[in-house]
């Protein structure tokens, strides 16, 4: 039995925005601006030379810069009690076990035995994959079929942690472990059945922030804040951040050789582009749901999420003969709808301003699951999304937790296991805010294998008829 994971029972930091109602772009009155980080220095220099940058560029720099990015710098603990947030797999082993059981439930419908390959997008510390492998290894049918593990991970420091975690399984079962920088680098599955999981992956993908104006969809960009005392300045003339009719301030200054500490005002700020750009126009028309939004509406759109979801659909959908199909679970917080004000940052398990200590905080935005479903149209069949509470309870969480409690070495240990399970499905926290989207290769052309129901458990409608959507793309 594995040790209990996570920290004290409380609302995870990444969900706390639902409770605290923190507005995007607002700076807490008790929060200092902080020292200039290496990433902030790069961004200020870029803005000085080329003008405002997109939110997507900001997120890419902050999270994925090769040496100073949040996920790339080994100095950032990121996960767990010492990091900035705790994920479901870190709380209880039951989460990963039930993910694996759902994958197995789809694999047993394959007409002919096939090799299995596991694919995980953003595997973190390898905890989820470790639990999945332990579960699959206990079932002879899947243990004999599993051959390859593919991890999409760009951080070299996290790759080392994942290798340490998963190497025992590789050695014990003679598995092949592969790392890739992108899902596009994952090779064709050949005759293998793909089991794919993406847990808290899509929320960290770069977003573009758009605002609807009378001209169309203008992009909200990030510029430097005014600093009238700067020695090296960037004039605002011609900047897309100011409408042509707006009065010009004496100067809009950026000091890129700032002292190590500033206690007055943020050095970065959101600005609205003067006119729509090709990128903002394309993204604003990328879903029919965006068309009827009112003037002034803001919209967070991730082109990267659309592209990756499309690739997932193609990978799971397989060939026309169905031989190379698979199944996938996408688990993240968000909703079956668009967002416009969800972009936020986390530091030490607390919400902070998105421009606070760039490169040293986690950045995230709610996942638009409807957008992912639209991206996978015509490639695979999507199921849901449903809440994490519904997914885990319907998959038998209470039964598994009860078994662990009975086998616990002490009453204290049993209570801790029970508390961890309850935390996963809490209807005031993780159980409500996290959503689960299932993807299968069935029904690509509107037909299903003989004997396979078109309703995939646990993605079924509630008895009251207000349950979870099932979409055949």
pLDDT per residue, tens digit, the chain (473 aa), is: 333 453 333 334 444 443 333 333 333 434 567 899 999 999 999 999 999 999 999 999 999 999 999 988 888 765 544 444 577 888 999 999 999 999 999 998 877 768 999 999 999 999 999 999 999 999 998 999 999 999 999 999 899 999 999 999 999 999 999 999 999 999 987 788 999 999 999 999 999 999 999 999 999 999 998 765 555 444 444 344 444 444 444 333 333 333 333 445 789 999 999 999 999 999 999 999 999 999 999 999 999 999 999 999 999 987 655 455 899 999 999 999 999 999 999 888 788 999 999 999 999 999 999 999 999 999 999 999 999 999 999 999 999 999 999 999 999 999 999 999 999 999 999 999 999 999 998 654 444 555 555 679 999 976 444 444 444 44
**CATH number for the domain harbouring residue 419:** 3.40.50.12710
Examine the domain organization and report whether 246 and 124 are in the same domain.
no
Domain final residue, candidates 300, 324, 348: 300
In this structure, the answer to whether residues 265 and 371 fall within a common structural domain is no
Q: SS3 letters for 42-102?
A: HHHHHHHHHCCEEHHHHHHHHHHCCCCCCCCCCCCCCECCCCCECCHHHHCHHHHHHHHHH
Instruction: Please tell me whether residues 237 and 379 are part of one structural domain.
Output: no
State the DSSP string of 97-145. Answer: HHHHHHHHHHHTT-SS---EEEEEES-TTSHHHHHHHHHHHTSHHHHTT
Main-chain dihedrals φ then ψ at residue 189, nearest 5 degrees:
-75, -10
Question: Are residues 168 and 219 both part of a single domain?
Answer: no
- Residue 11 within any structural domain of the chain: no
Q: What is this structure's pTM?
A: 0.84
Are 186 and 242 in a shared domain?
Answer: no
Same domain, 184 and 225: no
DSSP per-residue letters across 170-213: HHHHT-EEEEESSGGGSPP-TTPEEEEEEES-GGGS--EEEEEE
229 and 256 assigned to the same domain: yes
Domain span holding position 29: 18-60+207-300
How many domains is the chain built from?
A: 2
Q: Which of 252, 281, 300 is the last residue of a domain?
A: 300
- Please indicate, yes or no, whether residues 136 and 285 belong to a single structural domain of this protein: no
Helix axes 38-50, 55-64, angle to 10 degrees: 150
Q: Are residues 416 and 317 in the same domain?
A: yes
Query: Distances from the Cα of 229 to the Cαs of 8, 251, 252, 392, in angstroms?
Result: 46, 10, 11, 56
Determine which helix (DSSP H) or strand (DSSP E) holds 219, and give its type and residue range: strand 216-224
Q: Are residues 112 and 188 in the same domain?
A: yes
% helix, strand, coil for the chain, step of 5:
35, 20, 45
CA distance 369 to 302: 11
């Amino acid at each position: 039995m594995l040790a209990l994971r996570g920290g004290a029972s409380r609302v995870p930091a990444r969900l706390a925005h639902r409770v605290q109602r923190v507005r995007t772009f607002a700076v807490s009155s008790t929060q200092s601006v902080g020292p200039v980080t290496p990433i902030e220095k790069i961004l200020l220099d870029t803005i000085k030379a080329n003008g405002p940058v997109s939110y997507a560029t900001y997120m890419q720099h902050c999270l994925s810069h090769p040496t100073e990015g949040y996920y790339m710098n080994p100095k950032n603990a990121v996960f767990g009690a010492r990091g900035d947030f705790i994920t479901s797999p870190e709380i209880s082993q039951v989460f990963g076990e039930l993910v694996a059981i759902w994958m197995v439930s789809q694999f047993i419908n394959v007409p002919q035995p096939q090799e299995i390959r596991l694919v995980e997008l953003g595997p973190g510390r390898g905890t989820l994959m470790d639990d999945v492998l332990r579960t699959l290894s206990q079932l002879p049918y899947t243990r004999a079929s599993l051959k390859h593990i593919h991890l999409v991970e760009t951080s070299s420091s996290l790759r080392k942690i994942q290798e340490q975690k998963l190497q025992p399984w590789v050695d014990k079962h003679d598995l092949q472990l592969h790392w890739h920088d992108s899902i596009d680098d994952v090779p064709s599955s050949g005759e293998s059945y793909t089991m794919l999981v993406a847990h808290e992956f899509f929320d960290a993908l770069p977003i573009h922030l758009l605002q609807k104006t009378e001209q169309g969809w203008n992009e909200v960009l990030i510029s430097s804040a005014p600093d009238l005392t700067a020695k090296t300045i960037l004039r605002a003339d011609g900047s897309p951040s100011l409408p042509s009719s707006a009065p010009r301030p004496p100067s809009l200054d950026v000091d890129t050789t700032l002292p190590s500490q500033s206690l007055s005002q943020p050095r970065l700020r959101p600005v609205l582009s003067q006119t729509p750009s090709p990128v903002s126009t394309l993204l604003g028309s990328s879903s029919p749901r965006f068309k009827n939004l009112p003037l002034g509406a803001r919209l967070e759109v991730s082109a990267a999420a659309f592209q990756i979801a499309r690739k997932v659909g193609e990978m799971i959908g397989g060939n026309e003969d169905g031989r190379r199909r698979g199944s996938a679970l996408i688990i993240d917080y968000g909703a079956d709808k668009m967002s416009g004000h969800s972009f936020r940052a986390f530091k030490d398990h607390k919400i902070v301003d998105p421009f606070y200590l760039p490169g040293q905080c986690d950045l995230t935005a709610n996942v638009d699951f409807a957008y992912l479903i639209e991206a996978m149209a015509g490639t695979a069949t999507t199921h849901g999304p449903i809440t994490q509470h519904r997914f885990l309870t319907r998959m038998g969480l209470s039964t598994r937790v009860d078994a662990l409690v009975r086998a616990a070495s002490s009453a204290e240990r049993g209570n801790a296991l029970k508390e961890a399970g309850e935390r996963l499905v809490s209807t005031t926290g993780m159980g409500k805010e996290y959503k689960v989207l299932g993807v299968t290769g069935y029904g690509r052309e509107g037909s299903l294998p003989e004997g396979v129901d078109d309703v995939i458990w646990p993605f079924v409608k509630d008895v009251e008829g207000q349950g979870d959507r099932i979409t055949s793309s």
